[in-house]
Chain A
Amino acid sequence: MPTRRTFLKAGGCALVAYAAAPRFLMRTARAAEARGKVLVAVFQRGAVDGLSMVMPHGDPGYAGARPSIALQPPRQGESNRAVDLDGFFAFHPALATLGPLWDNHSLAVVHACGSPDTTRSHFDAQDYMESGTPGVKSTPDGWLARAARTLPAKPAPFRAVALGPALPRTLHGDIGAISIQSIDRFDVRGADASAGRGFEALYDQGVHDLLHGTGRETFEAVKMLRSANASRLAPANGADYPRGQFGDAMRQIAQLIQADIGLEIAFADMQGWDTHVGQGAEEGQLAFRLRDFGRTLAAFSRDLGDRMADVCVLTMSEFGRTVAENGNRGTDHGHATAMLVLGGAVRGGRVYGRWPGLGRHQLFEGRDLAVTTDFRTLFAEVAARHLGAPTASLFPGFKSTQPSLGLFV
């Protein structure tokens, strides 16, 4: 566990070369002392089929609804089958890498979770989930930004970071969140260092406004990353991230966490869940995505090791998919889905939420898994219990009518 001293030893020497170092060096050392909590939000864009991700093999309605894409129920000793969780639910076999995290109680599932809004539009539903205001599109900011705003102010360039080309809706708001495509390329990319020095000097002038302030923060961040670019931040404990956009994003989030640069909220997303055609069962399109997803989460957890006590990963998707398979061996847009909570002080090894059932009369609008846990109930619990964020104004207009899930110790 790094102390202030070890941090200075490991990262500080690279920084003294830069004149502007002391301010953030002090800040960073403080952050390292306090070593705050980190929330990592993962968005599965395109609506993941929660019924395949966490399969309800104990529900008699499951298999019959999906003649060609239902998973075989788990069976002891058969590794190519779904991984039983509690006698009723099972992980998709492509998520077998998550089994050990389930077994050691660091991973929980919240099933039949979703939005009270009935839209089946990806983009509307994503918008609602990111703003945290189902049915209200004019909300200017995102719920993660609001969560960050309620935390004691710790101005740091890497306080809230999204890995990707643009700042996602959920981090919009006046919190100085930054988006980074690649931390290796988060720098001025001139042929030599002179352009970088020039830009830095230009933004370092005495003017105090948003532009110059952000410019100074940017170069602090750039330098912070340059110094953090040490080999000690290579994946630890033999963690092996899958290649690809999501693996890269999570690997870099782990690097930012281990660099102790004040990260509190991170965001990554993964595309490709919109399986209308040829979804597959144990193998196929969805299995392919889930394998990447599960292996990445497992690598992330392994990489961070003990540090996972301070880190909580929350996965989400805008809605689930139809219970019945469609005419193209796929599934159409549905309603509730499953979400995962990993790390922190989570009481894992359990599936949370009331199971609404797959009987015809139990389905939402006669076709979809009903929502029994409003996503805001889950998000608020994670924000409050993991980050310590006050939740009074986190989700405007929302008063949870269900008791807390009791996800955390």
Chain B
Amino acid sequence: MSVSKQATAGPYVVLDPTGERSLPIRERLARPSTLEGLDLALLDISKARGDVFMDRLETLFAERGARVKRFSKPTFTKPAPPDVRRQIAEECAAVVEALAD
């Protein structure tokens, strides 16, 4: 398969039905090599007992030198509001989003 903005030579050309976010393959950020001194977001989706899980994660990350910041979504049924996402992206190097169910 070849992909381009233009129609390309080939026996069969179709229009991409997707949001075009995944081709070419989306690169992930490199994993942090250490937690020491890292600003780390913990995002609670607001499902029952997610806070218990988050509290434990915070303890474990703090023991390893990360500076933990806590965030939460108003409701687990909807995506995180843009402001929360923006704040996490601006303030933190990594995020852990936890689901308890």
A and B: partners? no
Chain A interfacial positions (CB closer than 8 Å to B): none
* Chain B residues in the interface with A (C-beta under 8 A): none
